[in-house]
Amino acid sequence: MSETSSIYGRHLPEMESVMNSILNSIGVLRRRMAEKTDSDPIDHCLARIKTDESMRAKCRLHNLPETEESALNEIHDAIGIRIVCAFVSDVYTILNYLKSLPDISVVTEKDYIRHAKPNGYRSYHMIVRFKEKYYVEIQLRTISMDTWAALEHQLKYKKTVSGNEDLITSELKRCADELASTDVSMQTIRDMIYEEREN
């Protein structure tokens, strides 16, 4: 599909530049924190621009015209970044850093870590605007939250689950609670290690 026929019009190169700019800023923080603590706060970071086909499908889902205006201003996740950390405290450190960047203004944020969804889903969601022009969806979570979300996604979007759906859903909720407890325990252990180092 040619660039001019894209739902993003001629904005795609600039959108890629925005995505890379935020990733570069995250890279700066990773290096600073690694120098300070001898460990990288981020396990992995994924970024994408929603495909033309996927964006058009989302426009249809929300009864919006399949236009550049809809894709860039009505729907706010054309650019998406997921940041996966080892520890909960790193999630909030990176979150606060992103909020402090001069080119970023927060539009909405939802803390599903401190206030999990009923099914057990945990993550921090934020919609930001870069230079008051492009919307970016940013998700921050721990490794265990990311693993759980991948499994829950299979249950929600794959049509292979039949009679055991209720059991699987309840087991997923139980696992989510256990993983959240483990995240807290791991954080406590790391804090104790850092405290020992400082003493």
94 near 33, Cβ under 8 Å?
no
- Hey, what long-range contacts does 121-125 have (CB within 8 A, 24 or more apart)? 121/148, 121/149, 121/152, 121/176, 122/148, 122/176, 122/180, 123/149, 124/91, 124/92, 124/95
User: Among 137, 152, 178, 195, which one carries the catalytic annotation?
Assistant: 137
In the annotation, is 16 catalytic? no
CA dihedral 85, 88, 91, 92 (to 10 degrees): -160
Angle, alpha carbons 130-107-114 (nearest 5°):
120
Catalytic residues: 137
